[in-house]
Amino acid sequence: MTAVAAPGAPIVISCGEPAGIGPEVAADAWRVLGGDMALLWIGDPRHLPSGTPYREVTDAAQAHGPCPDALPVLARDFGAPRVPGTPNPAHAQGVIDAIADGVGLVMAGAARAICTAPISKAALIDGADFAYPGHTEFLAALAGDVPVVMMLACTELRVVPATIHIPLKDVAAALTPAVLRDTLRITRDALMRDFGVTAPRIAVAGLNPHAGEDGKMGTEEREMIAPLLDALRAEGFDLAGPLPGDTMFHAAARAGYDAAVCMYHDQALIPIKTIDFAGGVNVTLGLPFVRTSPDHGTAYGIAGQGVADATSMIAALRMARDMADARMGAAAGASGGSI
Ligand SMILES: NC(=O)C1=CN([C@@H]2O[C@H](COP(=O)(O)OP(=O)(O)OC[C@H]3O[C@@H](n4cnc5c(N)ncnc54)[C@H](O)[C@@H]3O)[C@@H](O)[C@H]2O)C=CC1
Ligand SMILES: NCC(=O)COP(=O)(O)O
């Protein structure tokens, strides 16, 4: 059960991989948004870009309200400074703990949402035996093993991969009716609850070229995807598909749906990162709390150079705020106006 945070409570930002661009895009985003919304960064303050004005707090309550003069920081000691571009295995556990601590604050109602800066999956596995392929699965576990899905969203497109961080050779076996049903249900619920879409239209990709071309190029569409979509249509879902993955993302096609559910990671993420890499946001659907993230990764090659674009982090924080507002409004409505 997640408590509802007060309107002035902060959105928590977990530091992410210190050797990546996470600390600098968080600091840049605070410079843009810090006068409008309450933010609280969790991490080692030595990892922020030098010259970032910050204020250490010991409690999320001390970070209520906008703080344009200094970034509120829940300070952690990671034991060593950052070396941009070179992850330090000794930092891995601190990176994981920052995410878990942020989730703890959100679930306790001390923060409104969590926005996670990018992690390196490999660095966390190497440094701390991290048991999850990414935030998405870790957050699902922290929330009590709830079913979740990953969505990436920009102003022109929302995409949902039904399978995420698994080898391509394992995708077909992982795509079961239960997985696809959960993915479509969670996506539809979230479009209504978090994005204000009253009658969601969802486009569903096939797995194979040309969506199987009537079974000539693969049978998953005929044997599994199409029957499942028919069953869900009978339950009231507005679904198109299974559609050929190569022709469902051009502008006219995109106008026909509110989200595209895809069969694997790159089928979903290539179109959105091509259309709007700078402004895309990663959001986890199905959680009992709000989590967003920029759509990019650690970008080691440019870390520490002051050139990272914070647009996606800014969009992620704005989306977190809007989603938290929507949920608070819904909670207020359900309780007759008082929460
Ligand atoms: N939410 C998360 O925690 C995510 C983590 N990752 C992790 O990031 C690491 C690197 O992944 P890559 O595939 O290389 O993707 P990446 O997004 O880190 O970098 C891809 C390219 O885009 C550029 N780029 C990325 N963000 C940018 C920004 N804000 N401003 C300017 N240029 C930017 C990079 O310099 C690079 O050329 C991997 O370990 C991956 O697991 C990747 C995606 C999301
Ligand atoms: N490719 C998207 C990505 O790696 C983000 O994953 P997550 O850490 O948000 O689960």
Cross-strand bridge partners of residue 14: 42, 116
156 shares its domain with 141: no
pLDDT at 334: 66
292 Cβ below 6 A of ligand 1? no
Q: Which percentage of the chain shows pLDDT scores above 70?
A: 98
The pLDDT value given to residue 335: 63
Looking at residue 339, its pLDDT comes to 41
Average pLDDT of the segment spanning 241-246: 97
Ligand nearest, relative to CA of residue 123:
1
Domain tally, the chain: 2
Q: How does the average pLDDT of the chain come out, rounded?
A: 95
Pairing of strands 157-161, 39-43: unpaired
d(CA 76, CA 72): 13
My answer on whether 142 and 220 are in the same domain is no
Q: What is the pLDDT of residue 336?
A: 58
From the CB of 43, is ligand 1 less than 6 Å away?
no
Q: 33 near 39, Cβ under 8 Å?
A: yes
Q: Where does a domain end: 243, 267, 286?
A: 286
User: Which atom of ligand 1 approaches the CA of 295 most closely?
Assistant: 44
Q: Give the pLDDT confidence of 298-336 residue by residue, as tens digits.
A: 999 999 999 999 999 999 999 999 999 998 877 776 665
**pLDDT tens by residue, 152-209:** 999 999 999 999 999 999 999 999 999 999 999 999 999 999 999 999 999 999 999 9
Provide the phi-psi class of 79: left if phi over 0, else alpha when psi is between -120 and 50, else beta: left
Cα 235 to ligand 2 centroid, rounded to whole Å: 31
What's the pLDDT at 331?
Answer: 74
CA 230 / ligand 1 centre spacing (Å): 38
Task: Single out the residue of 241, 245, 312, 249 nearest to residue 282, CA to CA.
Answer: 312
Clarify whether residues 244 and 300 are in a common domain: no
Confidence of residue 4 (pLDDT cuts 50, 70, 90): confident
Pairing of strands 113-116, 149-154: unpaired
Site to probe by mutation for ligand 1, drawn from 116, 296, 313, 319 as the one with most ligand atoms within 8 Å of Cβ, is 296
pTM: 0.95
Closest to 102 in 3D by CA, of 141, 63, 60: 60
Question: The domain that contains 263 carries what CATH number?
Answer: 3.40.718.10
Using the mean position of ligand 2's atoms as its centre, give its distance from the Cα of residue 150 in Å.
8
Record the tokens describing residue 169, joined without a space.
Answer: 């050779």
Find all residues with CB under 8 Å of 34, minimum gap 6, and list them: 66, 67, 68, 71
Same domain, 1 and 140: yes
Residue 135 has pLDDT above 90, yes or no: yes
What is the residue range of 21's domain? 1-146+290-339
Question: Do 51 and 39 share a structural domain?
Answer: yes
Is 100 in the same domain as 133?
yes
Does residue 25 sit in the same domain as residue 104? yes
Same domain, 65 and 142: yes
Least confident of 92-96, 173-177, 289-293, 333-337: 333-337
Q: Quick one: average pLDDT of 2-26? A: 94
Q: Cα torsion for 51, 53, 59, 62, to the nearest 10°?
A: 180
pLDDT of residue 3: 78
Q: How many C-beta neighbours within 10 Å does residue 255 have? A: 8
Distance 302 CA to ligand 1 centre (A): 10
Residue nearest to atom 35 of ligand 1 (CA): 299
Question: Ligand 2 — pocket residues by CB below 6 A?
Answer: 134-136, 269, 282, 293
115 in the same domain as 152: no
Alpha-carbon dihedral sign for residues 10, 286, 204, 232 = negative
Q: Is the confidence at residue 337, as pLDDT, over 80?
A: no
Query: Beta strand pairing status for 39-43 and 11-14?
Result: parallel
